[in-house]
């Protein structure tokens, strides 16, 4: 058993059970043994590959989206440009390069990165040398003022709570230690408490799992209050869903673990694999609106990047590329936008100051 597994077993010996949200928070963010704390998990040699690591086009288009959003905000003389969970810093490096020609924007911006991983902060510092970035643990530490936020595959790493429909009623889903089998396992918890949780669906069958992401909703609400007061917008790209009222749900929850580009058991090796849950964009839209902001989308990543002009950008890059590089650009365009690749599962969703009636890329 690894160090994090032993730590969790000690907690469970004392407390009996921990919520799925606490398990996720410990597995990803434990200050010593958490998955993100000491490693760079990205890329072919790591556990998973993200859109900015597939092609420079992704970060470049998001950079131009920031410039355009800043113009729609009235081109304030000072703007906080923040990225949440910047990974290796690739997206921001590409975004800043694409925005290089827009001098007034470059002069207005102050770059702030919200990142908890020391290993990835070091990588970001290397790639963004010269950008005068400042790092923070939490969005609460961002300086005041008009703000533009980017976050790719960030919300899916925030802890979710799960509730399971047991014969005796709803129970919070928990993680326990099975001493006989000597492993962690899921269980229906002791607590029937569902306070602070929106209503649970009456039509759910026995065994159904329903998920809520209070940390993601709280983050969106905090940003929304800030944008309503001081101006700004946030763009989130992530995989997730937006159920319309009455639409059929999946009753198995979406918590998943990935290691070396393959799905693994989320409990088998805590701290050694990435844990994520699909983002509930409808819930985030509601959180934004309650906090006084406008929600945009979600739209599919394919539609969003197409509306921002990814096909033309690919053509421009290909025009001066060697044949082999041209094939790489075409493959990246396909991977980012095709429905069977990342184009439909991933979605773009934005929250803005209500005075911003429209944002680039959203119909
Ligand atoms: C899946 S990676 C995405 C990286 C990057 N955005 C990309 O697209 O390549 C998640 C990122 O969020 C960071 N992260 C995870 N949980 C965080 C938290 N609670 N606060 C700040 N950063 C977090 C990770 O360290 C990592 O940089």
Residue 32 lies in a domain: no
**Looking at residue 61, what is its pLDDT?**
98
Average pLDDT, the chain: 94
Task: List pocket residues of ligand 1, CB cut-off 6 Å.
Answer: 28-29, 36, 42, 50, 52-53, 85-87, 91, 114-117, 120, 152-154, 157
Q: What is the tens place of the pLDDT at every residue in 115-131? A: 999 999 999 999 999 99
Whether 196 shows a pLDDT value over 80: the answer reads: no
pLDDT at residue 194 in the model: 65
**Closest atom of ligand 1 to CA, residue 41:** 2
Query: Which residue's alpha carbon is at the smallest distance from atom 12 of ligand 1?
Result: 85
Residue 200 is predicted with a pLDDT of 84
278 in any annotated domain: yes
Quick one: average pLDDT of 334-357?
A: 96
Q: Is 6 domain-assigned?
A: no
Q: Which of 27, 36, 37, 85 should be mutated for ligand 1, with most atoms under 8 A from CB?
A: 85
Q: How far is CA 89 from CA 76, 118, 174, 337, in A?
A: 25, 13, 35, 22
Q: What domain count does the chain have?
A: 1
Is 37 within the bounds of a domain? no
Tell me the per-residue pLDDT of 276-300, one tens digit each, with 9 for 90 and over: 999 999 999 999 999 999 999 999 9
pLDDT at 348 over 90: yes
Residue 313 CA to ligand 1 center (angstroms) comes to 27
Owner of token pair 């209050």:
225
Range(s) of the domain holding residue 62: 51-159+211-309+347-352
Q: What is the pLDDT of residues 170-189, one digit of tens each?
A: 999 999 999 999 999 999 99
Closest C-alpha to 212, from 289, 279, 257? 279
pLDDT in tens, 31-73: 999 999 888 999 888 999 999 999 999 999 999 999 999 999 9
Distance CA 246, CA 303 (A): 25
CA 84 to centroid of ligand 1, rounded, Å = 7
pTM confidence score = 0.96
Q: Looking at the domain assignment, is residue 26 inside a domain? A: no
CATH number for the domain spanning 303: value is 3.40.50.150
Instruction: Please state which of the ranges 28-32, 64-68, 199-203, 219-223 shows the lowest mean pLDDT.
Output: 199-203
Residue whose pair of structure tokens reads 């990835």 in the numeric block: 120
Tell me whether strands 18-19 and 79-84 are parallel, antiparallel or unpaired. unpaired
Q: 118 in a domain, yes or no? A: yes
User: Does some domain include residue 226?
Assistant: yes
Query: Would you state the pLDDT for residue 2?
Result: 87
For 199, residues 6+ apart whose C-beta sits below 8 A from its C-beta are: none
Residue 109 pLDDT greater than 90, yes or no: yes
Residue nearest to atom 23 of ligand 1 (CA): 85
Q: Which is more confidently placed, 249 or 358?
A: 358
Best CA proximity match to 211, nearest among 184, 183, 169, 240: 240
- Cα(264) to centroid of ligand 1, in Å? 20
Looking at the domain assignment, is residue 358 inside a domain?
no
Give the residue among 361, 355, 98, 90 at the shortest CA–CA distance from 236.
Answer: 361
CB atoms within 10 A of CB 323: 7
């Amino acid at each position: 058993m690894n160090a994090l597994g032993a730590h969790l077993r000690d907690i469970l010996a004392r407390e009996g059970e921990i919520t799925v949200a606490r398990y996720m928070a410990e597995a990803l963010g434990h200050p010593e043994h958490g998955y993100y704390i000491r490693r760079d998990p990205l890329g072919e040699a790591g556990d998973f590959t993200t859109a900015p690591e597939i092609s420079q086009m992704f970060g470049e288009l998001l950079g131009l989206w920031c410039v355009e959003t800043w113009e729609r905000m009235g081109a304030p003389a000072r703007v906080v440009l923040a990225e949440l969970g910047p990974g290796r810093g690739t997206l921001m490096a590409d975004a800043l390069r694409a925005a290089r020609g827009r001098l007034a924007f470059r002069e207005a911006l102050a770059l702030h990165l919200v990142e908890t991983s020391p290993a990835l902060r070091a990588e970001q510092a290397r790639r963004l040398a010269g950008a005068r970035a400042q790092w923070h643990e939490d969005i609460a530490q961002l300086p005041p003022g008009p703000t533009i936020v980017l976050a790719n595959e960030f919300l899916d790493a925030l802890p979710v709570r799960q509730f399971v429909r047991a014969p005796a009623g709803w129970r919070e889903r928990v993680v326990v230690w099975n001493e006989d089998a000597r492993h962690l396992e899921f269980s229906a918890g002791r607590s029937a408490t569902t306070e602070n949780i929106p209503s649970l669906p009456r039509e759910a069958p026995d065994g159904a799992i329903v998920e809520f992401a209070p940390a993601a909703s709280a983050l969106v609400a905090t940003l929304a209050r800030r944008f309503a007061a001081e101006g700004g917008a946030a763009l989130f790209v992530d995989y997730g869903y937006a159920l319309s009222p009455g639409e059929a749900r999946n009753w198995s929850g979406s918590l998943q673990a990935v290691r070396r580009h393959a799905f693994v058991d989320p409990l088998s090796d805590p701290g050694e694999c990435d844990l994520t849950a699909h983002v509930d964009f409808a819930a985030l839209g509601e959180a934004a609106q309650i906090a006084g902001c406008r929600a945009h989308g979600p739209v599919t990543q394919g539609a969003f990047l197409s509306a921002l002009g990814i096909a033309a950008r690919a053509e421009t890059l290909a025009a001066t590329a060697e044949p082999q590089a041209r094939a790489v650009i075409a493959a990246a365009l396909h991977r980012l936008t095709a429905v069977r690749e990342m184009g439909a599962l991933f979605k773009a969703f934005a929250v803005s100051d209500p005075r911003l009636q429209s944002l680039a890329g959203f119909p």
